[in-house]
Amino acid sequence: MSKMNKRKDWWKKSVVYQIYPKSFNDSNGDGIGDIQGIIEKLPYIKKLGVDVIWLNPIYKSPYVDNGYDISDYKMIHEDLGTMRDFEELLSEAHKLGLKIILDLVVNHTSSEHPWFKKSRSSRKDPYHKYYIWKDPVDGHEPNNWGSSFGGSAWEYVEDVGQYYLHLFAKQQPDLNWENPKVREEVYNIMRFWLDKGIDGFRMDVINLISKRPDYPDGPVIQNKEYGSYYAGAANGPRVHEFLQEMNREVLSHYDVMTVGEAPHTSADEAALYTDERRKELDMVFHFDHMHLDYGKYGKFSDRRFKLADLKTVMTRWQKVMEVHHGWNSLYWSNHDQARPVSRFGNDTDYRVQSAKMLGTLLHFMQGTPYIFEGEELGMTNVAFDNIADYNDIETHNIYHEFKTVHHLDEDYIMKTIHLKSRDNARTPMQWSDKENAGFSAGTPWLKVNPNYHEINAASELSDPDSVFYYYQKLIRLRHNYEIVTTGSYQIVDEKNPDIYAYTRSDEKQKLLVVCSFSESPITYKIPESLRVLPRELLLSNDAASETEDSTTLRLAPYGARVYLCKTGA
Ligand code: NOJ
């Protein structure tokens, strides 16, 4: 391996397609999506036009948290296939010019990982120091931290007389990154996959790996029973040092991309992770726009976002990344979030129109866009009547907490679950109107959304006006117009209550993006300074019509327009 830094920035021009393997396509009829199923659908992904595929965890796991609890980092989960299947996928994808990035889950392992089994066997075992163990304080947990999935973040183990930390489920013990051996293990795992030829990593909750050594109590927020761990664990004292070490030791030797998941990270903090001169990560996933509809109890609420807040948040991230040499990741959804058309658009009367508008708004911003499987079809949230039909651990835990701690009524609880459950994203991909949406010949591990008769890939592929073909255009425009990657962002008409408009500019031209969040037709006056510029319509989601003096746009409900304006010689 040469010592030279091999990194290039192809990812700035790329669009990423996220696959949740369990829910994508089942090739063997066991009801669970698998790697051969992904291989079958590579032509579909290629047709959409993306550059990179991100796979959620595919490793051996007891599936307490659907693969985010890994018991062997170098083995493929048997439900998904074999290492040979994975190698075939990688090589077939590469033949089509598609790159593949994998999920790196190293804040924690599964409690079934051999390291943890040894760690919990005795304080003297060398693996004990692989995890975070603390003595009881006055016979209790070492601090008040609650886990992300409810309950305490500490679990007591009789055999060693200590508590171990788990920021997520108790089957997901946190690794001790202070131990250099742990870091070396992680780097070895990364090299193992990179040497197979993968093209990068999405790093799970990577900003949580360095905990404050004093483990301070956290504030009790959102009516929770326990304290928040964020002040003590997010963006901790050594996180940048660890990531710079990881970059030096591993990443700098490969031409790959990285995106770190970073909950509770401000734009200024994110600039530290992604400033290219600091050599840490290429970009992070932030959560600021995902928090806009949080309520009294946090995520599970029936509040709807406000457009003014969305503008503020997105604009802040666009500006801060630009000024600080950072880079944005752009996303509306992923396997942890509700479907965007249900959450930020209208999934009944204006489903197609609002899905296209949301795609437009996001894809012309600065950053690398991520499309979560089914988003390109305008797939919607699901509303199962019975909690037993849900699979997700977070959903079950919140149901229990809302019942037993807050005594909320069933209807309200189910309403918030319908709006926010992670299973909204995880229902099987809707390929056709055949049985089980064409996802599986067996019984799917999670029920399909009953609206698959109406919303499915087969029908969209035969309709030139579909969301699918609109997304294809969005991607093509990004590839064809350099300004989408490089242009400087400026919000326009910031106070407008219905419209989100912005420009992207370079010395010679400007893109003008105008998106309506109104459910009524709207007349929009283009601001004076932009009106005078000659403009060419690049894209719209309705039959674009302008008044004669071309100063005014008439936008249909959830209308969207993109213009290219010439500003220079
Ligand atoms: C974030 C992942 O996206 C989520 O699915 C998972 O439950 C947690 N991290 C824990 O790994």
The β-bridge partners of 566 are 509
* Sign (positive or negative) of CA dihedral 43, 46, 51, 53: negative
Distance 68 CA to ligand 1 centre (A): 6
Pocket test for ligand 1, best of 168, 175, 286, 426 (most atoms within 8 A of CB): 168
Cβ–ligand 1 distance for 105 under 6 Å, the answer yes
CA angle 178, 182, 186 (to 5 degrees): 125
Q: Is residue 52 a contact partner of residue 100, using CB atoms and an 8 Å limit?
A: yes
CA angle 358, 360, 364 (to 5 degrees): 125
Q: What is the DSSP code (8-state) at residue 549?
A: T
pLDDT for res 1: 38
Cα–Cα distance list, 67 to 79, 103, 104, 446 (Å)? 11, 10, 11, 15
List, as one string, the DSSP characters of 251-305. Answer: GGGS--EEEEE-TT--HHHHHHHH-GGG-S-SEEE--TTTTTT-BTTBTS-----
Distance 141 CA to ligand 1 centre (A): 24
Rounded Cα distance, 453 and 462, in Å: 14
Q: How far is CA 113 from the centre of its chain?
A: 25
Rounded Cα distance, 300 and 395, in Å: 9
pLDDT for res 3: 46
Active site (catalytic) residues: 204, 261
Atom of ligand 1 nearest to the CA of 149: 7
Q: What is the DSSP code (8-state) at residue 442?
A: S
Neighbours of 294 (CB within 10 A): 16
The torsion angles phi and psi of 391, rounded to 5 degrees, stand at: -110, -30
Distance 534 CA to ligand 1 centre (A): 47
Place of tokens 């693996």: 127
Distance 56 CA to ligand 1 centre (A): 10
pLDDT for res 545: 65
Torsion, Cα 391 394 396 402, to 10 degrees, reads -160
Residues 6+ apart with CB under 8 A from 212: 231, 232, 233, 236, 237
Q: What is the DSSP code (8-state) at residue 147?
A: P
pLDDT for res 5: 65
pLDDT for res 2: 41
Place of tokens 């309403």: 415
Buried b (16+ CB within 10 A) or exposed e, 79-107: bbbeeebbeebbeebeeeebbbbbbbbbb
Neighbours of 388 (CB within 10 A): 8
pLDDT for res 567: 87
Domains in the chain and their CATH numbers?
Answer: 13-109+180-474 (3.20.20.80), 114-165 (3.90.400.10), 487-566 (2.60.40.1180)
Atom of ligand 1 nearest to the CA of 68: 11
Nearest alpha carbon, ligand 1 atom 4: 336
Note the helical H segments in 339-446.
Answer: 340-343, 351-363, 393-404, 410-420, 423-426
Structure tokens at 450: 């009953």
Cβ–ligand 1 distance for 205 under 6 Å, the answer yes
Q: Is residue 162 a contact partner of residue 243, using CB atoms and an 8 Å limit?
A: no
The torsion angles phi and psi of 442, rounded to 5 degrees, stand at: -105, -160
This prediction's pTM: 0.97
**Per-residue model confidence as pLDDT tens for the chain (569 residues):** 344 566 679 999 999 999 999 999 999 999 999 999 999 999 999 999 999 999 999 999 999 999 999 999 999 999 999 999 999 999 999 999 999 999 999 999 999 999 999 999 999 999 999 999 999 999 999 999 999 999 999 999 999 999 999 999 999 999 999 999 999 999 999 999 999 999 999 999 999 999 999 999 999 998 899 999 999 999 999 999 999 999 999 999 999 999 999 999 999 999 999 999 999 999 999 999 999 999 999 999 999 999 999 999 999 999 999 999 999 999 999 999 999 999 999 999 999 999 999 999 999 999 999 999 999 999 999 999 999 999 999 999 999 999 999 999 999 999 999 999 999 999 999 999 999 999 999 999 999 999 999 999 999 999 999 999 999 999 999 999 999 999 999 999 999 999 999 999 999 999 999 999 999 999 999 998 898 888 899 999 987 666 646 789 999 999 999 999 998 75
Please compute, for residue 1, the number of CA atoms within 13 A of its CA located in the half-sphere on the CB side.
14
Nearest alpha carbon, ligand 1 atom 10: 68
Cβ–ligand 1 distance for 69 under 6 Å, the answer no
Nearest alpha carbon, ligand 1 atom 6: 68
Buried b (16+ CB within 10 A) or exposed e, 427-464: bbbbbbeeebbbbbeeebbbbbbebbeebbbebbbeee
